[in-house]
Amino acid sequence: MALVNDGGLAALSMSAIAARARVSRATLYKWWSSPGAIALDGLVQRTHHTIEHDDRTPAGQAIADQMLALITLFTEDRTTAAAIRAVTARAESDPQLARDLREHWHRPRRAAAAAIFQRGIEAGEVSADLDVEAAIDMLFAPIYHRLLVDHLPLNAALVDQLLAMFNGFTRVVRR
């Protein structure tokens, strides 16, 4: 993670990682298929807590909290932001890394959001006819877009803006 933060995608090589970790490249290849896989593993280990939520929190607030946790992760931890950019870029040319990124980063985050929406549907807080997958795309894709493209600020105000445009909640509790 430090290599990515210090030197970006170019710094992410098995040789550099092995030197920093004081292990052989063979040891790295025994456990990971590529430098991107190592970075992804580090990301998942460091950030898993950001998808956890309290089941007692109303669905609208839980989704807002999850969105804000992702934004906070990307804005307050430069290393994580640099690493997710690097892994995403490298996944474009590495099919295995692309599968790993979907499986180990995106799928758990989407599953947590889907569970919140499902709980909200059952409690009457979320419209019963909501397309959950499309709702997740609508609410979370702009966060990744702003991280990767860097065309507009990535900040907490974005959560309120996105939720204001989203009408899938029958009520939204805001702090």
Return mean pLDDT, the chain. Answer: 89
Residue 28 lies in a domain: no
115: CATH: 1.10.357.10
Would you state the pLDDT for residue 59?
Answer: 95
**Any domain includes 25:** no
**What percent of the chain lies above the pLDDT cut of 70?**
94
| 19 found inside a domain | no
C-alpha span between 5 and 156 (Å, rounded): 23
Q: In this structure, how many other beta carbons lie within 10 angstroms of the beta carbon of residue 48?
A: 12
Chain segment 27-65, per-residue pLDDT in tens: 888 888 888 888 888 888 888 888 888 899 999 999 999
Given this model, what pLDDT does residue 171 score? 54
Q: Which of 1-5, 78-82, 106-110 has the lowest mean pLDDT?
A: 1-5
**Token pair 């992410």 in the structure block, residue:** 12
pLDDT of the residue at 169: 64
Q: Distance between CA atoms of 39 and 41, rounded to whole angstroms?
A: 5
Q: Is residue 9 part of a domain?
A: no
Is residue 23 in some structural domain?
Answer: no
pLDDT per residue over 70-90, tens digit each? 999 999 988 889 889 988 998
Distance from C-alpha of 85 to C-alpha of 74, rounded to nearest angstrom: 10
Count how many domains the chain has.
1
Q: How far apart are CA 93 and CA 127, in angstroms?
A: 39
In-domain check, residue 125:
yes
CA distance 87 to 101: 8
26 is a domain residue? no
DSSP 17-33: HHHHHTS-HHHHHHH-S
Domain boundaries, position 94: 48-165
In a domain, 116, yes or no: yes
All residues at 6 or more sequence positions from 127 whose CB lies less than 8 Å from its CB, including other chains: 121, 167, 168, 169, 170
User: pTM score, two decimals?
Assistant: 0.84
